Amino acid sequence: MSSTGGGRKKRSTAGGGGGVAKQGRASPKDPHAGVGPPQKISVDAVEKQHRFSNLETGIVLGVNDTHVRVATEGGTMSVARSIFGYNTYRSPNQTNADGGVVHCSKTRLVETMHEVGHHLFWVAFITSGSAKKKPYYREMFCVMRGKVDTIYGLSEVNEQVPMTATGEVVQPRNAAGDVDMLDGTFDLSKVHHMGYKYRQVNHREVLEIKYNGRHYIRKGYKGRDSLDRCYFPAE
Q: Is residue 33 part of a domain?
A: no
Q: Rounded distance, CA 77 to CA 178, Å? A: 29
Q: Is residue 189 part of a domain?
A: yes
Residue-level pLDDT at 194? 94
Q: Is 171 exposed, middle or buried (0-12, 13-18, 19+ CB in 10 A)?
A: middle
Residue-level pLDDT at 132? 83
- The residues facing 155 across adjacent strands are 201
Instruction: Kindly calculate the radius of gyration of the chain based on its CA atoms and give it in whole angstroms.
Output: 18
Q: Rounded distance, CA 192 to CA 71, Å? A: 6
Q: Is residue 234 part of a domain?
A: no
The three-point CA angle 45-50-54 to 5° equals: 95
Considering the entire predicted model, what is its pTM? 0.79
Q: Is residue 6 part of a domain?
A: no
Q: How many domains does the chain have?
A: 1
Q: Is residue 180 part of a domain?
A: yes
Counting as low any pLDDT under 50, the low residues of the chain are 1-35, 235
What is the helix (H) or strand (E) element at residue 113, kind and residue range?
helix 106-115
Q: Is residue 105 part of a domain?
A: yes
Q: Is residue 228 part of a domain?
A: no
Q: Is 137 exposed, middle or buried (0-12, 13-18, 19+ CB in 10 A)?
A: buried
Domain that holds residue 120: 90-222
Residue-level pLDDT at 47? 86
Amino acid of residue 46 = V
Q: Is residue 64 part of a domain?
A: no
